[in-house]
Every structure is written in structure tokens, then in C-alpha cells.
């Protein structure tokens, strides 16, 4: 892919998808420990939202931006496990 095409695509989208940029076999190896051991939904206290429920179980995150509502924490074990993938995607 040329730089010009890449720039044009990036100017239109927030994310760029490059099919097979990451080896499918690598992703297949990465997933089982995530599913079996590392995925731990967090419980956060929220204002009740639509369902009027104060304690929500939300996903498990590698990275978290500051100032999010509800506030969550990154899962260090999951982040460590996926670090090489994160670096490749950056």
C-alpha cells in the first residue's frame, strides 16, 4: 500500500484495517488463555443508567483512557499477554 493511499484512507477513518496484517495463527494462539484465564469483567458503580442498576459488570480492558465514566482499570495480566500485539498494532 502506498503512502498516498494510506494517508487518504486514514483521513477518512479513525481506524485502518489491513487484512491479514496479523497472522491468523498467531491470533489463534493468543486467544485460549484470554478466554480461559484472563478475561475478568470489572464491577463498577454507575449512576443507574437505563436499567437503574448501580453495580454494572463491564468488560476487561487492555488500556483505559483517563476520565472515562464509569471509571475502569486496565487488566495488567491481559495487557502483558497482549503486549506484542498492541505494539504491532501501534
Answer whether residue 58 shows pLDDT above 90.
no
Average pLDDT of the chain to the nearest whole number: 79
Question: Rounded CA gap, 35 and 32, in Å?
Answer: 5
Answer whether residue 80 shows pLDDT above 80.
yes
Between 15 and 74, where is the model more confident? 74
Regarding pTM above 0.75, the answer is no
Burial class of 75 by CB neighbour count within 10 A (0 to 12, 13 to 18, 19+): buried
pLDDT in tens, 12-43: 666 677 888 899 999 999 999 998 998 888 87
Work out the pLDDT band at 5, boundaries 50, 70, 90: confident
Amino acid at each position: 500500500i502506498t503512502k498516498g493511499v494510506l494517508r487518504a484512507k486514514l483521513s477518512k477513518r479513525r481506524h485502518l484495517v489491513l487484512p491479514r496484517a496479523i497472522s491468523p495463527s498467531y491470533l489463534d494462539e493468543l486467544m485460549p488463555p484470554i478466554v480461559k484465564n484472563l478475561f475478568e469483567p470489572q464491577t463498577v458503580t454507575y449512576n443507574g443508567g437505563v436499567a437503574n442498576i448501580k453495580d454494572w459488570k463491564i468488560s476487561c480492558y487492555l488500556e483505559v483512557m483517563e476520565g472515562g465514566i464509569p471509571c475502569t482499570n486496565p487488566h495488567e495480566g491481559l495487557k502483558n499477554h497482549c503486549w506484542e500485539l498492541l505494539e504491532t498494532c501501534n
